[in-house]
Amino acid sequence: MADGNSGNGALYFIVGALCVAVAIGAFFMLGGNLGPSTAQAPAAAPPAPAAAPTKNVTIEKIEVERPDRRDDRRDRR
């Protein structure tokens, strides 16, 4: 280091290796085909599923009386 070289060779190697790794990963993620691609017709749509049977459901609302809290506060005094 005394001769003025900064010694960034290892840093350049690591950055280059990361760039190569990202390029290879992108290549495989995007299909990885090197040759010409051939067009294919889209697949036929699958038949529609049968309709599910309907069920009638009745929901009843239950009302619960809330106790008056003001009376409780007076009893505590």
What's the pLDDT tens digit per position in 6-64? 778 999 999 999 999 999 998 888 877 666 667 777 788 888 788 888 888 898 988 88
Q: Which domain holds residue 2?
A: 1-32
Task: Give residue 47's pLDDT.
Answer: 81
pTM higher than 0.75: no
Residue 66 domain-assigned?
A: no
Residue 72 domain-assigned?
A: no
Residue 7 domain-assigned?
A: yes
Query: Could you give the CA distance from residue 69 to residue 75 in angstroms, rounded to a whole number?
Result: 10
Residue 63 sits at φ, ψ, to 5 deg, of -100, 130
Residue 67 domain-assigned?
A: no
